[in-house]
Each structure stands twice: as C-alpha cells, then as structure tokens.
Amino acid sequence: MAEAKVSNDLTIEERLRALYNLQKVDSEIDKIKILRGELPLEVQDLEDEIEGLHTRIEKIEAERQEKETAISDKKIEIKEAEALIKKYEEQQNNVRNNREFDALSKEIEFQNLEIEFFNKNIKDFGFKIEQLTKSLENSQKLVEERLLDLKQKKDELEAITQETEKEEAQLKARSEEYASAIDNRLVTAYKRIREKARNGLAVVLVERDACGGCFNKIPPQRQLDIRMRNKVTVCEYCGRVLVDKDIEISMEELEKRLQEERALEAAKQEKRAKRRTSRAKKADK
C-alpha cells in the first residue's frame, strides 16, 4: 500500500510500484465502467430526446391555440359583416334614388365577398389545426414510448450502480491515494498514455520477454534495466511504462528469496554429492 508520502520521498522503485498499483486499481474501475457500458450515454440521449419532444409539443400547442383564436376572430368578423349587410338592406328600403340603392348593393356585395373570404380562412385554419393535432398525437405517443425506454434503461443502470457503487468509490479513493504519492509529471504522463492506449493500460508487465501491452519483444539488456528498477522505462513500440513481473515484491525481498533458493539448491547438491560418495563407497566394498 502507498503511504501518504510526498512524491520526493519515494525511490524510483517505489514510484514504479505505486504506478503499477495505480494501474491495477484504475483497471478495476475500468471493468466496472465496461459493466455499465453505454447505459449512461443511452440514458442521456433519451433524456435529451424527451426534452426536445416536450419543446416540440409546446410549440405545436401554441400554434394550434393561435389558429383557434384566429378562427374565433374570423367568426366575429363574419358577424360584423352580416350586421352591416342587414343595416344596408334596411337602408335600401329608404333610398331616395337608384344611385343610392346601387351604392348600397355594392357595399352588400363587398361584405358578402368578405364573408366568403373569412369562411375560406376558417376552413384553412381548421385544416391546419387537424394537421397540428395529428403531429401533436404522434409526438405525445413518441414521448410515452421514450419514457418507457428511459425507465427501463434507468432501472438497469440503477441496478448495476447499486451493485458496484461502494466498490467503485473505494477504488477511486485508492486510485487518488496512489496518484498523490507519485509526482505530478509521472501521473500526467500515465494518464496521457492511458487515454491513448487500448484497454486503458499505461503500465504493463514484461511477460515472456515481451511488452505486456503490445507484445513486441524486449531486448535482454532492456529487460535487465527494467529489473534493476532504477529508472522509468517505456516500451519503444507503444510507449507504455514497463515493469518487471515481480514489481510488487521489493528488491530486498527478491534478493532474500534468491539467496534462499540458492541455499536450497546448494543443500540439494550437497545431499546428492553425499549420496554419490556413499554409493561409491558401497560399490567399493
């Protein structure tokens, strides 16, 4: 575990180990994100679409209201024209000459044309209202469908989130802890490589003499450098930071294990040699 050390306090080996641990934790977070998949994006898209549909519905309703008001207005104008006609007809009964009668006839004819025109307007508005009502119904149906989709996606996301929420929060806290232990420059570089790299891997192990990220072979001298842990080595093909497969074990511990192995090997050899000598002695007898 990374203690809350200032970056400068860490040796390069400790920094490499912290970086490796950071990668492990971030990869765990990536796994949770993959589990959630496209769901957060799909939820967002649906919410945007529903909002857009609501705006559309409001607009259609406003336009329909406008047309209905226009129809009422035209109906009032028709009533006014009819009243004028009635007035002119009454006046025609009291004219003094033909000229006055003809002038009134012309007025009546004009008002009748006006009424015809207003009725045509009303018909057009009525047709438009029909169209608007249809598109309103379509939009409302679409909203209902999308709301159902949204509920389903949200429930799915909610289930996954509930399952992983606590784990993710813990991992994020650990990720921040590791990152804060490493110097900013290295963390920035790590993040940059991670963004570009497939699978989000910026720190990889040397496995079977190859880079664990791009699987290109690493020359023996370079592998030795990596095992020495006294500088940050990146893969010359993919740019990922390379660490040896035992990075989680300290050099001291590795050295101890190596000595133990050697001692064990030496003991075996000794035993074997003894057996050989005793067998040789028996044979001599």
Residue numbers of the site for Zn ion (CB under 5 A)? 211, 213-214, 235, 237-238
Residues 6+ apart with CB under 8 A from 160: 35, 36, 39
Distance CA 107, CA 84 (A): 9
Pick the closer one to Zn ion by CB: 25 or 218. 218
Pick the closer one to Zn ion by CB: 104 or 238. 238
Pick the closer one to Zn ion by CB: 18 or 201. 201
Distance CA 85, CA 107 (A): 8
Residue type, 108: I
Pick the closer one to Zn ion by CB: 85 or 218. 218
- Least CB distance to Zn ion at residue 273 (A): 46
Q: Give phi and psi for 208, each to the nearest 5.
A: 45, 50
Distance CA 141, CA 123 (A): 27
- Least CB distance to Zn ion at residue 223 (A): 13
- Least CB distance to Zn ion at residue 204 (A): 7
Three-state SS string over 213-253 comes to CCCCECCHHHHHHHHHCCCCEECCCCCCEEECCCCCCCHHH
- Least CB distance to Zn ion at residue 282 (A): 58
- Least CB distance to Zn ion at residue 219 (A): 13
Pick the closer one to Zn ion by CB: 60 or 238. 238
Distance CA 154, CA 152 (A): 5
